Structure 1
Amino acid sequence: MADEELQRVRIQLKESLTETVIKQLLDDLKEETVLGDEEVESILQQNPQRADRARCLIDSVKKKGPTASRILIEKLQKFDKNVYDKLELHKRHTQHTPDYRKPAVGPPPEDEPMNKRVDENVSSSSKHEIFSPSPLQHEKEEYTMSSKPRGVCVIINNEHFTNPEVTLHGSRKDADALEDVFRFLGFKIEVHKDLTAQKMKELMLEYSKQQHDGDCWVCCVLSHGISEGVLGSDWNLCPTEDIFSPFNGKNCPSLLGKPKVFFIEACRGSKTQEKLLVSDDAVTSDTGKESYSIPKDSDFLFARSTVDGYEAYVSSTHGSWFSQSLCRHLKEGSKRGDDILTVLTRVNDEVSRREGEFMDKQTRQWYDVKATPISSFTLRKKLIFRKP
């Protein structure tokens, strides 16, 4: 059958298809309703490398069955006769079956539930098999990180504010350290200083509308903050949602399927954390479950310098606890091949062990202070920042 034939030549076909032929095949397969618009977009956006696109194209068609596979083989004969003959597809390709031009192998219309497309005579176990994730889901467990540059790293450093008494002394140390480490990791660096809240919102929207050809997007924001977000240089609020949401899969399609990483160094309240003793053998662990479908809010990582409601701490001489630890562990972790969650766990441990003193400006009394960074993510694969 055609799907078995496609499996036979899968590896050779993956290596042989050119970028031009891949796009021609995708256009025709979409016209023939073998692949839907979203499937084609997913193949193009989630697979920046030619070989990955070819493999995803072949597997997406093959899993739809012999009719779809036969159409792909015929389109290959049309667009790349040399590869078609080289793989001896002309010797094995079966004859057409009547009226296959519009096979019902694409996604169902939006107003037609998927389960209505299933033959009512199919057993329940077979139905389950139809909707189970493709084996392609498990073929690649690490995000691609090979483009040059790796992507853009945007650093927003709000050091000076309309009220000079709240100047963020030490913030420049953090900005310099972040610039150094992400340049080391192969990113293009773009630094913006002392932005108002409105300028920050506009900048995020501007970046979200650009074409992102790199494998990753990184944004670092250094500023004062409160629970709801970060403060602009005009002391107005830029909500956290206005920083993150422009880059979801719907608003920024060129980053669909790619990791979008945000590091936020800012207070999230005015409370100070207590100091408690803990034994060295205390262990905490998290496990994530990979998802086959890709909602618009997938592939995000948010790392903040402190938990909600509490202050973060910056040394005017050495920079902030969180950002300095992050930069150090990112650089060391890249040499070991550590994924980002391992890196952030080390950062959490290091920062949580630090102790400092804080003087209440009203009472003029000194207090012992602690801080706990926090991260959340919708990553689907391991994210490893490797040095180029």
Structure 2
Amino acid sequence: MLVDRISTPVMANLLDHLLDDRILNERERDCVFEEHLARADRASCLIDMVRRKGARASQELITNLKNFDPFLCNDLFPPVGQAEEAASGSVWGSKLCGLRGFPRAYPVMPKSNRTRVALLINVRNFVNKKWIREGSEKDDAAMATLLTALGYRVVRPETGEPRKYTGEDFAQLPDLSQTDSVIVVIMSHGKKGAVYGSRGKALNPNEKDDLFPTDNIFEYLNAKNCPALRDKPKVIIINACRGGDSLIFVIETNPGKCLPADTDALEEDDIKVHIEKDFIAFLSCTAGNVSWRHPFFGSPFIQYLVEVFNTFSHKDHLEELFTKVINRFDQGPPPAIMQVPVKDRCSLSKHFYLFPGL
């Protein structure tokens, strides 16, 4: 379990402290990283080194692990009262729910029998060439890499699939019964409450705009229409404008002047489930405002999101990760500082920890 789940930053900290405690010498520490490329191989090498040095060395490793990764240490060595639960074969994620001082968490399926699924849609090219979202290919690649690292099979309707998927198609994928969560990422132009398809705005007055209401995502994946995802986290991430304002203000020296640029009858033994439960949406900007994108570097929203997830998703729950992304905009240079992402329609009843690599 330690080999499967230890992260590279935790391993590096362990090596430094084992060197300080004179359990390992510098040559042994360097050997772990320089002679092995795969994370699991490095972890195996470290464990073998420590075990050969006896009980004191092993105890030092455990003590340091408790400081750097208490979640993993708790699963490896359950406290009294949790050992019986560990022996019963329960999902390790459910044990986390009982840790003192931590709120309940959604159970995470063991790696051996789960198939996480994510839907990634990036509309870059449009019929109207002026609408082409240059730079969005950077966002697309970054999100695909992140989702894969988090253990999700990425479904891409526009490429790499035998046919195009509709929302209903995705909701009926057989993989959903074996996933502990779903992430849907949509990147396009947009307006309040909807995102544009590749046809964009209608050129002919007799035609309709090519719009997809974001409410439809919640309807396709809710408890009624997608029972396979009942009681599982459903994460919706949308990178699109929600209007035309940019929230840029010009404050004049004259104080006070600020100029802005139906229910069926239930049987006694029927189960009652709230139809829209366990969702959370993360939108790239506030209602009525623009979402910035650089033609060479991509969108600050996607780049900051990937940065935060890569750094903190091994220890923070999902809502906290989203909060860190919002805080990251406070630190970024313009135009990022003029954009504020928002968490929306959150009905998560528990914390959701992604635990990448597990």
Residue deviations 1:330-382 (CA, integer Å, cap 9, x gap)? 111123x101111111111112443436xxxxxxxxxx971010012110111
Question: Which has more radius of gyration?
Answer: 1
Contact 2:92 2:110 (C-alpha < 8 Å) held by counterparts: no
Give the Cα–Cα distance (whole angstroms) in 2 for the partners of residues 347 and 13 of structure 1.
36
Contact 1:15 1:51 (C-alpha < 8 Å) held by counterparts: no
CA 1:144–1:51: 2 relative to 1, 3 Å = closer
How far has the Cα of 1:275 moved from its partner? 5.4
CA 1:328–1:157: 2 relative to 1, 3 Å = same
Q: 2:329 matched to 1:351?
A: yes
Q: Which residue of 2 aligns with 1:158?
A: 123
Q: 2:121 matched to 1:142?
A: no
Give the Cα–Cα distance (whole angstroms) in 2 for the partners of residues 270 and 239 of structure 1.
17
Provide the TM-score with structure 1 as the length reference: 0.54
How big is the alpha-carbon RMSD for the aligned residues of Structure 1 and Structure 2? 3.2
Q: 2:158 matched to 1:193?
A: yes
Q: Which residue of 2 aligns with 1:247?
A: 221
1:317 corresponds, among 296, 312, 317, to 296
1:225 corresponds, among 177, 190, 193, to 190
Give the Cα–Cα distance (whole angstroms) in 2 for the partners of residues 386 and 313 of structure 1.
30
Contact 2:188 2:196 (C-alpha < 8 Å) held by counterparts: yes
CA 1:251–1:276: 2 relative to 1, 3 Å = farther
Q: 2:309 matched to 1:330?
A: yes
Residue deviations 1:180-199 (CA, integer Å, cap 9, x gap)? 111111111122339xxxx9
Residue deviations 1:21-56 (CA, integer Å, cap 9, x gap)? xxxxxxxxxxxxxxxxxxxxxxxxxxx95997xxxx
How far has the Cα of 1:244 moved from its partner? 2.1
CA 1:252–1:140: 2 relative to 1, 3 Å = farther
1:204 corresponds, among 152, 167, 184, to 167
Provide the TM-score with structure 2 as the length reference: 0.59
Q: Percent identity?
A: 25
Contact 2:218 2:276 (C-alpha < 8 Å) held by counterparts: no
Paired residue type of 2:131: V
Contact 2:313 2:354 (C-alpha < 8 Å) held by counterparts: yes
Residue deviations 1:245-276 (CA, integer Å, cap 9, x gap)? 10001110000000000100000000111359
1:1-388 counterparts in 2 under 5 A?
A: 141-148=104-111, 149=114, 151-193=116-158, 203-211=166-174, 212=176, 213-235=178-200, 236-274=210-248, 294-335=273-314, 337-356=315-334, 370-376=338-344, 377-387=346-356, 388=358
Contact 1:352 1:371 (C-alpha < 8 Å) held by counterparts: no
Paired residue type of 1:372: V
Which stretches of structure 1, 4 residues or more, deviate above 6 A after TM superposition?
Answer: 11-17
How far has the Cα of 1:384 moved from its partner? 1.1
How far has the Cα of 1:12 moved from its partner? 7.8
CA 1:264–1:330: 2 relative to 1, 3 Å = same
Give the Cα–Cα distance (whole angstroms) in 1 for the partners of residues 131 and 92 of structure 2.
50
CA 1:184–1:176: 2 relative to 1, 3 Å = same
How far has the Cα of 1:210 moved from its partner? 2.5
CA 1:13–1:229: 2 relative to 1, 3 Å = closer
Contact 2:313 2:353 (C-alpha < 8 Å) held by counterparts: yes
Contact 1:355 1:369 (C-alpha < 8 Å) held by counterparts: yes
Paired residue type of 1:375: K
Paired residue type of 1:260: K
Give the Cα–Cα distance (whole angstroms) in 2 for the partners of residues 219 and 375 of structure 1.
14
Paired residue type of 1:321: P
CA 1:139–1:312: 2 relative to 1, 3 Å = closer
Give the Cα–Cα distance (whole angstroms) in 2 for the partners of residues 16 and 356 of structure 1.
53
Gaps of 5+ in 2: 1-82, 201-209, 252-271
Give the Cα–Cα distance (whole angstroms) in 1 for the partners of residues 354 and 212 of structure 2.
29
Paired residue type of 2:199: D
Contact 1:272 1:311 (C-alpha < 8 Å) held by counterparts: yes
Contact 1:147 1:215 (C-alpha < 8 Å) held by counterparts: no
Give the Cα–Cα distance (whole angstroms) in 2 for the partners of residues 142 and 353 of structure 1.
30
